[in-house]
Amino acid sequence: MHFAVMAAEAIEWLAVRPEGTYLDATAGLGGHTAEIARRLTTGRVIANDRDAESLAMARRNTAAWADRICYRQGAFSRLAAALPECGAGQVNGLLADLGVSRYQLTEPDRGFSFMADGPLDMRMDQSTGITAADVVNQYAEKAIADLIYQLGEERRARKIARAIVRGRPIRSTLHLAGLVERAVFRTNRLHPATQTFMALRMFVNDEQGELDRLLEIGPELLVSGGRMVAISFMSLEDRKVKQRFRDLAQEGRATVLTRHPVTPTEEETGLNPASRSAKLRALQMN
């Protein structure tokens, strides 16, 4: 079952108006897009995602409101082009759910997870860019260690990178996970390869760079009084969102609406454990 994380809270902080124009920058499987679209009358929502397969599923899942939705594939860095392509100027609200979709994590052929064996791909846009296999099989040991440490916040990065280089050629997700598991001890309930896989995914998709571009471009796409809502799942992302919102407020360009991050209810985390680490922050342009 697909859960749109903090859907009620996202809609509340976006302050969706029936005649407004909204941008769901991370449409995923369409959960948040549907919540926005069903509240519109003359308004529109632009459903954007860099993953073509996810966007195709979002289109099917939101077919009931298709007349109010413009679907568009592209990374955050191309968002400025999405608006005119969908016949919009600025928008009344922008939503970005920065989590990885359950589809991406559970589809073995995408290579995001070690729950089943699959190719080491990890690209959100499979039409371009390097794969995780390229990184683990071709990059220098120090470069691999650095990205695992910096993006995965994995303290055992050097030991893991050494095992990766010695284990080449690495053929699949389970092959990589096994190498990591043999190289380091399990210190908690998480599989030892969890942070390594996360770091590789973030690197392959330039997630931190794309988030920087979203935080730079996003406020410019909003009308005066327009709102930006970001839902993050990692401390690295939440810090970036918090700092950018604070900077915009200090410049007098915006007002931070959430003094502290909004977190999911106990009911939601019970139904959808993946939402536990979610943090929502909201901003309104002056």
pLDDT digits (tens, 9 = 90+) for 203-243: 999 999 999 999 999 999 999 999 999 999 988 899 999 99
Classify strands 91-97 and 21-24 as parallel, antiparallel or unpaired. Answer: parallel
Q: What is the number of other CB atoms lying within 10 angstroms of the CB of residue 128?
A: 8
pLDDT bin (cut points 50, 70, 90) of residue 2 is low
Structure tokens at 41: 């009358």
Distance between CA atoms of 267 and 177, rounded to whole angstroms?
A: 33
CA–CA separation, 251 vs 94, rounded Å? 20
Give every CB contact of residue 262 below 8 A, 6+ residues apart in sequence. Answer: 6, 9, 13, 279, 280, 281, 282
pLDDT digits (tens, 9 = 90+) for 22-37: 999 999 899 999 999 9
Which residues are registered as beta bridge partners of 45?
22, 69
pLDDT over 80 (residue 188): no
Surface-to-core class of residue 59, CB atoms within 10 Å of its CB (0-12 exposed, 13-18 middle, 19+ buried): middle
Q: What tens digit of pLDDT does each residue of 128-179 get?
A: 889 999 999 999 999 999 999 999 999 999 999 999 999 999 999 999 999 9
Q: What is the mean pLDDT of residues 58-66?
A: 95
User: In what helix (H) or strand (E) does residue 70 lie, and over which residues does it extend?
Assistant: strand 69-73
**Strand positions, DSSP E, 136-241:** 222-232
What's the CA gap between 147 and 207, in Å, rounded? 12
**Cα–Cα distance between 243 and 247 in angstroms, integer?**
6
Q: What is the pLDDT of residues 106-117, one digit of tens each?
A: 788 888 889 889
Q: Which domains, ranges and CATH numbers included, belong to the chain?
A: 7-103+207-285 (3.40.50.150), 128-204 (1.10.150.170)
